Structure 1
Amino acid sequence: MPDVEKPPAEPPADPETPLEQLTRHWMNERHAPDILPAQDVLLSSLLDHIRRQSDTIQLLRGDPSSSEEEHIRIMLAQTEVERVKFVVRSYVRTRLFKIETYARYIIANEDVQTRITAAERAYASRHAHLIDRHFYASVLQSLPESQAGLDDIPNFIMPRMITEPETTRAVFAHALEDVTVRTPEGRTVDLKQGSLTLLSFAAVANLIASGQVELV
């Protein structure tokens, strides 16, 4: 019996460039309700790349012997630098927005603090302190002592004083490889590579951090 010819294997995907990696992390951060692990090493690498490229561009621009073709290459390099700057700024702004929104939650939660940088922790602490002072000066000092605190106490009538991320919110998860998801309810969902599935953020948070799933 003749051998059955196997279909040719798909060529391996090209590895992501640092810019593509940060773009993916930026999209994940935008769509995730909670703050994700900081990508400080990747961010530092890209900032170093921007500085080196910018220095090189300035040197070439100041060279009177540069040809027209070299000037075109300089313009293309400058355009690439601006692209990287845009993604870096957008990623940082997205994280800062979350840190400002959840500042008191962050400084009260050690698990969340492991996901942010030392600079972000300091920023969250300063922001929470400013908000506390503002609330006390404008509202809390006029209330009875029993109601003048910002610490959350279980209460079925009063709204929570500390804003927390809604981790049960549904997100669109794009599987980067075959993976099994276990939902908070205890059921399992098999995701095929390339599939797009609506799931709660809590169910895929670890898979996002490991790079097996991305948010879209």
Structure 2
Amino acid sequence: MDIDDILAEVSGDGSPPETRDLQELTRAWVTERSAPELLPWPSDLMDRVLGRIHQQIEVVEEQVGNVDPKTNFRLIIIQTELERFKYLVRSFLRTRMAKIDQYTLYMLSNPTQTARLSACELQYANSHQTLLEAHYRSSFLSQFPTSLQRLDDTAGGISMIEQPDPDAAVFVRALRNIEEPVVIEGTDTDFQMRRGDVYVVRWSAVQEHVLSGDAELI
């Protein structure tokens, strides 16, 4: 039995869907890191990936200590794949948590944004905001008049709620031809997105196409 046989045995018949999951996870990671706002939680993908990680950890734990060279080499392959998945998941979650920390109140007060959080992220956001408000009140807010203690005040037309910048520049690549012209709001500029083309454009102009899967951030 040579290395190709061992690799084939490790991959098994499930190799194509596992490869697709890795590609999809990598794309979700890159897109989340590039987008100025929090993107919808990919529940189906994360359920599959986390399930696979737990399964692979169990396999490694069961086989550790086996002196068979073939088994040892198989474990090396599994552990390498496992670390790759774990790195992407950790970085993906850290990126999302950083956005939640920065825009907590905005996400909790906006139903569209709240719907993009996973159950654990929503619990984290609520706990984070509760602790933050308690800290502010004990530190200095309690010294202010009641009318000035709100953290979501919009007096004078200025909102205290920090929001993502919809006009932040992003690099986007079209995954398919998009027939509807992309319009840059506030300008007379519009353009046609063709498959494979890369553009630098405002996030607000391509947000819809990225969320629909017609384009991806790079």
Instruction: Give the TM-score taking structure 2 as reference length.
Output: 0.83
**SS at 1:155 equivalent:** helix
**SS at 2:170 equivalent:** strand
1:52 aligns with 2:51: no
Q: Give the deviation of 1:60 after TM superposition.
A: 2.7
Paired amino acid for 2:70 = E
Q: Give the deviation of 1:213 after TM superposition.
A: 1.1
Q: Which residue of 2 aligns with 1:11?
A: none
Q: Which residue of 1 aligns with 2:207?
A: 205
Given candidates 36, 40, 62, the residue that maps to 1:37 is 40
Q: Give the deviation of 1:187 after TM superposition.
A: 4.8
Structure 2: segments with no counterpart, 5+ residues: 1-15
How do 1:161-176 and structure 2 match up within 5 A?
161-176=160-175
**SS at 1:198 equivalent:** strand
Query: Distance between the aligned counterparts of 1:128 and 1:58, measured in 2?
Result: 39
More helix as a share of residues: 2
How do 1:144-155 and structure 2 match up within 5 A?
144-155=145-156
Q: Which residue of 2 aligns with 1:19?
A: 22
1:118 aligns with 2:99: no
Q: Decide which structure has the larger Cα Rg and report it.
A: 1
Paired amino acid for 1:106 = M
Query: Distance between the aligned counterparts of 2:145 and 2:58, measured in 1?
Result: 60
Query: Distance between the aligned counterparts of 1:94 and 1:59, measured in 2?
Result: 33
Query: Distance between the aligned counterparts of 2:159 and 2:183, measured in 1?
Result: 29
**SS at 2:211 equivalent:** helix
After superposition, the Cα gap between the structure-2 partners of 1:146 and 1:57, relative to the gap in structure 1 and judged at 3 Å, is: closer
Q: Please report the RMSD computed on the Cα atoms of aligned residues, expressed in angstroms.
A: 2.0
Query: Distance between the aligned counterparts of 2:41 and 2:125, measured in 1?
Result: 14
Structure 1: segments with no counterpart, 5+ residues: 1-13
Point out the more displaced range, 16-25 or 103-112.
16-25
Identity, % of aligned pairs? Answer: 33
How do 1:132-143 and structure 2 match up within 5 A?
132-143=133-144
Query: Distance between the aligned counterparts of 1:107 and 1:210, measured in 2?
Result: 23
Deviation track 1:28-63 (CA, whole Å, cap 9, x = no partner) reads 111111100001221111111111112222223343
Query: Distance between the aligned counterparts of 2:118 and 2:57, measured in 1?
Result: 26
Point out the more displaced range, 23-32 or 112-121.
112-121
8 Å Cα contact 2:66-2:72 kept in structure 1: no
Query: Distance between the aligned counterparts of 1:36 and 1:154, measured in 2?
Result: 29
Q: Give the deviation of 1:132 after TM superposition.
A: 1.3
Q: Which residue of 2 aligns with 1:9?
A: none
Deviation track 1:128-166 (CA, whole Å, cap 9, x = no partner) reads 11111112222211122332222221426xx64211111
Q: Give the deviation of 1:169 after TM superposition.
A: 0.8
Q: Give the deviation of 1:183 after TM superposition.
A: 3.2
Runs of 4+ in 1 over 4 A off after TM superposition: none
Q: Which residue of 1 aligns with 2:103?
A: 102
Point out the more displaced range, 125-134 or 69-78.
69-78
Q: Give the deviation of 1:101 after TM superposition.
A: 0.9
Aligned residues: 199
